[in-house]
């Protein structure tokens, strides 16, 4: 038994697995996840829009964890923060000295009427790999008409997701010789193509150059599957032949006592710097399931996992709110670089940044399995591209 005590981690995604591997050997670490697999979620875009094979983007959680980490494949039913107890659906009770909740978001496909039917008809690039495969087939079958990418709520994980979907689907359709027969329409609830004006200024000319239509201030509210149209909260209509809508995101579907640690959408209320759950110094929440005022993204989960692991090991680490969300289009890439103190800085599109993003993707599994090895490399990159420094230089 390790000396540090028991650490229970709810969720074996990016954040959970990195925290577990950093603490392995120093603490008795148990990871609980209902899924056998860890999915590299951006991979759904490559499956849906590039026809890549799903197995490229999943690994067994047990294989990603260090040998000294205990993996329990079960669904977490409840967490009692006062009793320091996690209970699984099969009735297993686990006590802890430290808890890390890395349970991700719940995608609510029931909030909009007919959303589930839309999902099952055309597929989706947010839901699962199976649905990403289905969306790929739907697009291959779309000989002419309109492909609509819409968003149902302004708070959703991977903010550049819909933009990437627009660029990559346009690329796919062009490759299939449908550059003039199929329109791609991106409908977003913001005044620009992206929530940040600075980022929008970088991508909007590219959207225009590729003939991708953008409908701003369009919050998908009703889906008429028979009439093939989406109606927005603002009262506008969009006709489609194939469509996909990013569903409202909520906190994880786990009973957590006391309920006061969750906000109105079910997200865990945390200290944005330390990831400590409000009112509990032995419980942390990281990644998409928190109310931290930053992007719900893999980088956030990764950096919060490092922060929490260091804090559990007795160091005074703090997460700055740093984001590094990639936006990719044919041959070019850019990153949304910001933190709690700085809104996104201007980052031009370049071939090099696309190459960097491809490198990040290639190193993903290794960085999850060996976060200690990759830590200093990422740290050097993040230091070199601190928003404050880039802002002073007028961007990157």
Question: Where on the chain is the footprint of other proteins (CB under 8 A)?
Answer: 348, 350-353, 372-373, 375-377, 379-381, 383-385, 389-390, 393, 396
Which two tokens mark 77?
């039913």
For residues 293 and 352, which CB has a smaller minimum distance to other proteins in the complex? Answer: 352
Within 10 A of 258 (CB to CB), how many other CB atoms are there?
11
DSSP string for 62-80: HHHS-TTSEEEES-EEEEE
Contacts of 92 (CB under 8 A, 6+ apart): 72, 74
Q: With respect to other proteins, which residue has the nearer C-beta, 38 or 353?
A: 353
Quick one: tokens of 122? Answer: 């055309």
Q: How far is the CB of 374 from other proteins (least distance, A)?
A: 9
Nearer to other proteins (CB atom), residue 67 or residue 293? 67
Nearer of residues 5 and 375 to other proteins, judged by Cβ = 375
Could you tell me the smallest distance in angstroms from the CB atom of residue 332 to other proteins?
11
Per the CB < 8 A criterion, the answer to whether 84 and 96 are in contact is yes
> What number of residues does the chain have?
396
Angle between helices 115-122 and 129-141 (to 10 degrees): 70
State which residue, 340 or 382, has the beta carbon closest to other proteins.
382
State which H helix or E strand residue 325 sits in.
strand 323-329
CB of residue 372 to other proteins, shortest distance in Å = 6
| Min separation Cβ 376 and other proteins, Å | 3
For residue 392, the minimal CB distance to other proteins (Å) is 10
Between residues 51 and 395, which has the closer beta carbon with respect to other proteins?
395
Nearest-approach distance from CB 339 to other proteins, in angstroms:
16
Closest distance of CB 396 from other proteins, Å:
6
Closer Cβ to other proteins, 264 or 376, answer by number: 376
Buried b (16+ CB within 10 A) or exposed e, 137-173: ebbeebeeebbbbbbbbebbbbbbbbbbbbbbbbbbb
**To 10 degrees, what angle do helices 161-175 and 197-209 make?**
10
Contact 305, 18 (CB under 8 A): yes
85: how many CB neighbours lie within 10 A of its CB? 16
């Amino acid at each position: 038994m390790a000396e540090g005590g028991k650490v229970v981690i709810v969720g074996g995604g990016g954040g959970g697995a990195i925290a577990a591997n950093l603490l392995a050997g120093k603490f008795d670490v148990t990871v609980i996840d209902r899924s056998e697999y860890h999915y590299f979620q951006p991979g759904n875009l490559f499956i849906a829009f590039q026809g890549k094979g799903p197995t490229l983007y999943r690994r067994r959680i047990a294989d990603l964890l260090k040998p000294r980490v205990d993996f329990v494949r079960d669904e977490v039913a409840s967490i009692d923060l006062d009793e320091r107890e996690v209970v699984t659906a099969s009735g297993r009770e686990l006590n802890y000295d430290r808890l890390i909740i890395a349970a991700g978001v719940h995608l609510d496909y029931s909030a909009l009427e007919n959303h589930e039917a839309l999902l099952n008809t055309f597929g989706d690039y947010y839901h699962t790999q199976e649905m990403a495969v289905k969306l790929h087939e739907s697009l291959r079958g779309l000989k002419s008409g309109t492909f609509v990418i819409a968003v149902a709520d302004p708070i959703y994980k991977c903010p550049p997701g819909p933009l990437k979907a627009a660029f990559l689907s346009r690329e796919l359709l062009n490759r299939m010789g449908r550059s003039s027969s199929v329109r791609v329409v991106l409908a977003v609830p913001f005044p620009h193509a992206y929530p940040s004006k600075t980022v929008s200024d970088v991508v909007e000319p590219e959207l225009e150059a590729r003939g991708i239509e953008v409908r701003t201030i369009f919050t998908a509210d009703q889906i008429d599957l028979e009439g093939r149209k989406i109606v927005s909260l603002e009262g506008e209509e969009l006709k489609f032949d194939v469509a996909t809508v990013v569903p409202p995101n909520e906190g994880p579907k786990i009973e957590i006592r006391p309920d006061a640690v969750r906000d109105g959408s079910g997200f865990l209320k945390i200290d944005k710097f330390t990831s400590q759950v409000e009112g509990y110094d032995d419980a942390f929440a990281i990644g998409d399931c928190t109310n931290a005022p930053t992007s719900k993204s893999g980088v956030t989960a990764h950096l919060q996992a490092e922060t929490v692991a260091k804090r559990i090991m007795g160091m005074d680490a703090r997460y700055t709110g740093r984001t590094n969300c990639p936006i990719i289009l044919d041959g070019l890439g850019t990153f949304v670089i910001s933190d709690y103190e700085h809104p996104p800085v201007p980052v031009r599109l370049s071939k090099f940044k696309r190459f960097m993003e491809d490198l990040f993707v290639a190193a993903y599994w290794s960085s999850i399995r060996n976060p200690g090895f990759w830590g200093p490399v990422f740290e050097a990159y993040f230091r070199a591209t601190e928003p404050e420094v880039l802002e002073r230089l007028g961007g990157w």
